[in-house]
Structure 1
Amino acid sequence: MDRSICIFLIPVSLLLACLVHNTHAVDFKVTNTVPNTPGGRMFDQEIGVNFALSIMPDITEFIYKVFEETRSEQRRHVPVVNVYISEFPGYAYKNGDNINISASALDQFYHPRSESKRFFTSLMYHEMTHVFQWHGNFGAPGGLTEGTADYVMVKSGFYDQATYTKPGAGKRWDEGYGVTERFLEYCDSLLNGFTAKLNLKMQYTYSDNYWVELLGKPVDQLWREYKAKYGNQPQEASVDMFQGLKY
């Protein structure tokens, strides 16, 4: 009697463990919808679906780590992340939990071809951050969400350090991309983990007052002090490996 009970309980406990794990798992899918175009062929030959699928779980875990989201309730619930290689003007964009990447842009900008996987990995750190970051129910400034996506990309190390935006560049704190990324780094220097804390505050809404709550100063004042630190020099805005082609 006791033996039969034990035999029954072990599989049930294992089943329950699997169910809990799957509840918080993210499924990843990659589809090349234009395999017969130059960019579609390049993707298959130089990058490939299997490579894309292999890096997506690690990127997801990295995003959780950068955002200090150690508990499931701190994370955006994302059942499936779809990546589509297709044809459209531009480079890449996110809609919902879908990442759309232009095959033509891959073909045009991924040179040398031997660096294609590195370029693609950089892009995926940026775009997947858009999937998992908080944005105050779309109330956060677009430049802030773009800068935060670049922030994770820079943390990953998959970016061109020689051409990337230098500290002190830009005209507005919410200019986006490298300009806002460097400003977030500055704010991190004032409060360890600032960017992660700001991201968590934006689970439901966004307010400029979050900067005051975290750093004790309005964001415009922080921006002025940041610019002053670098001599208020007029500098170019964000520069990236894709010659200014924006996501």
Structure 2
Amino acid sequence: MKKTSTFSIALKVTGIHVGVVGVIVLYSLLNGCIKPKPNNEVVMFVELAPMGPAMGGGAEPAPTEEVDEPEPEVEEESEEINEPTPQEDLIPEPPEDPTPEPEESVPDWEPTPVSDIKVSNQRVEATPTRSQNPIPAIDPGKILESGSSSGPVGTPSDFAAYESRVTALFQRAWISYKPSSGGPAWIRISFSSNGTITSRRLQKSSGDAAYDAAAKRAADSISSLPRPPSGYGKTYLDIKFELKN
């Protein structure tokens, strides 16, 4: 019973499919056989002229002419090179010599003839001319003072005699202070241009402190020296303190 129902259903479905396919084929055949009739209507085009000014229309526009725009002309570069115009050398003109002023003519001197000279017995004295800056008077006393202060320049023999005199001065003072043994010691005596002693310093020791102290006391006992001769360049003397037999 079930097999019969299944078969009938399949048969129905197949029939439906066949029917649909047949309808589609029939429609295609009918669409190709029936053609639309062509429309025989005639269409006419009428061109209307523009209305003139008498018929109330506006002025007929003037036909526009196409104007060809001129192409810009390309200026050809001139191949000519503008050479600079040579400038004339400007040579300065020499200045004009100023006209010299005429010199005044000086008459030549002519001696007076002897016959025209008048002789007179009057004595003519020359008048002394005075200078604007008179020379001041010089005091003779000041000249003598300046000459005595400077004095003549000493000679080498004068310098040697001066040093011997100073050495003898310290040797006389050394007699009162010298010890019985030791020595010698050197004391440097510094002095000014007028003979004033400015310093006393032990220049070379004897090796004995007592001996050096005695030499220093002998040098301190002299307060000033004789005035050096003019031109004496030394400012100190080294005095030797030694024991003599």
- TM-score, normalised to structure 1, is 0.19
More helix by share: 1
